[in-house]
A and B are shown apart, each in its own frame.
Chain A
Amino acid sequence: MEMIKVRDVKKEFGELGVLKGISFSLHEGEVLSIIGPSGSGKSTLLRCLTQLERIDGGSIEVCDDVMATTDDEGNVRYSDPKTLQTIRLKLGLVFQSFNLFPHMSVLRNIVEAQTHVLKRSKEEATEVARTLLAKMGLGEKEKVYPCHLSGGQQQRVSIARALALNPTVLCFDEPTSALDPELTQEILKVIKELAREKMTMIVVTHEMNFARDISDRVIFMDDGLIVEEGSPQELFVNPKNERTKRFLQRYEQ
């Protein structure tokens, strides 16, 4: 089943075209990695999916709900707020810079959206949060405030926070770019574990080995376009496009 359908999505910042017509789909249980040089539009694409940016053309569908379409005259039409909220909750997002709420304890960071958005009872939300924290290896930390955690621990809390809303798809926007190499490994381990559980995921990353290991499919983006798409084997071992080859060579050095 197709979880996300993206057709010819365009995004401009002023005169600058950041996405110049992106199309792809994501299937249930699939792990899709998006790689490419800085400024290629990877993060912007993720931000369009999670409604942090509005698209300027094309269409996005999430689990049969239409987020936005473009008519023949090029006018983008977003769905009603209720549908958009439904879609928003189906897509979890883990940020590069964690973005935990610093004035809330670890537990409350994970409980807050469950009680206020999903209207779960406090008991139920707390139980969900504790289960997730235990899974993230942070069972002892529920009363702690984010400022007392390492970057890796903060990122694990933010993964738990996203998972608490039972998203259909979990998106990662360079989840390890703000971390030391050793802390990077602990996050990659968590994502690998989620992949093993068949969580549907989109991962924007600069960790090529990681992308090769966990992905079912890899997209290489450059200059606002999908240059090449395929299995990790195809893309990393036998890249067809010159630009892909050059990009990967730079990483091998």
Chain B
Amino acid sequence: MSNLLSLMLQGTYTSLKIFFLTLIFSLPLGLLVAKGRMSKNRFISTTVNVYIMIMRGTPLILQLIFVYFAPYYLFGASYDRFTAVIVGFVINYAAYFAEIYRGGIQSIEVGQYEAAHVLGFSKLHTFTHIVFPQVIKRILPSLGNEVITLIKDTALAQTIGVAELFRVAQNAAARQFSTTPIFIAGVFYFVMNAIVSRSFDHIEKKLDYYH
């Protein structure tokens, strides 16, 4: 039993690594993608739009397989499975985050930009100090949804052979002829998401000082 638990903790560690690495890269990348989507340059905005459509329009599981196997079939190059998982998750989540950012950015009143302009703020300062802090507050609930989904989506990493929590639980279940490890995994996911959702509640409360 203690052996099972230590295996599952290892699996959890892998899942959390996928989770955090995906967030660290896809949150900033998503902002860049959102900027591209809103670009006045038709070529950039169309390209980015096609990318977003593909990411949101096809299953993540398929994207993971593609990211891992495509370089091999196209160029004969193979690379680390874990890296492939991170790349797959990051480009997928960046697309979703981008649309959330875009909604937030477009909901900021024109007057905010106009006031900043008249006061002489640079475009960069206007974005970083006036617009973006307000965007964060507005998109927090949708962001929370997406982050909770990400915790559960990490289970897809096993598709290309990365042994995260769910895979470890399935293996153990097969060895023991028992579904118990799978239900334990369920509890693990639940606890992780309880922490995520508490954290988001906390941040929302902290940003509650204005509306």
Contacts and interface: CB of A to CB of B under 8 A. Distances in A.
Interface of A: 50-52, 85, 88-89, 91-93, 95, 97, 99-103, 112-113, 116-117, 145-147, 158, 161-162, 165
B120 A102 contact: no
B119 A145 contact: no
A112 B129 contact: yes
Main secondary structure of the interface of B (DSSP, over half): helix
Contacts of B117: 51-52, 88
Contacts of B129: 112, 116
B112 interface: yes
A101 B118 contact: no
A101 B130 contact: yes
A113 B114 contact: no
B108 to A, nearest CB: 10
B209 A145 contact: yes
A93 B113 CA distance: 13
B119 A85 contact: no
B40 interface: no
Contact of A117 (B109, B120, B133, B137): B120
29 contacts: A52-B117, A52-B118, A85-B120, A88-B117, A88-B118, A92-B118, A95-B115, A97-B111, A99-B109, A99-B111, A100-B115, A101-B112, A101-B130, A102-B210, A103-B133, A103-B134, A103-B210, A113-B119, A113-B120, A113-B121, A116-B121, A117-B121, A145-B209, A146-B210, A147-B211, A158-B115, A161-B119, A162-B118, A162-B119
A146 B111 CA distance: 15
A104 B117 CA distance: 17
Contacts of B115: 95, 99-101, 158
Contact of A103 (B120, B125, B137): B137
A99 B112 contact: yes
Given A102-B211, A103-B137, A147-B210, A93 B118 contact: yes
Contacts, number: 56
B119 A117 contact: yes
A89 B210 contact: no
B114 to A, nearest CB: 6
A95 B111 contact: yes
A85 B118 CA distance: 9
Contacts of A146: 210
Given A85-B120, A95-B115, A116 B210 contact: no
B139 to A, nearest CB: 14
- Of B119, B129, B137, B210, the most chain A CB neighbours within 10 A belong to B119
A89 B122 CA distance: 13
Nearest to B115: A99
Contacts of A116: 121, 125, 129
A204 to B, nearest CB: 15
Contacts of A52: 114, 117-118
Nearest to B210: A145
B125 to A, nearest CB: 6
B17 to A, nearest CB: 34
Interface string B40-63: 000000000000000000000000
Nearest to B111: A99
Contacts of A102: 134, 210-211
Contacts of B133: 103
A244 B175 CA distance: 93
Contacts of B120: 85, 88-89, 113, 117, 165
A38 B99 CA distance: 38
Contacts of B211: 102, 147
Contacts of A50: 118
A101 B114 CA distance: 11
- Of A50, A103, A158, A161, the most chain B CB neighbours within 10 A belong to A103
Contacts of A85: 120
A88 B137 CA distance: 30
Contacts of A97: 111
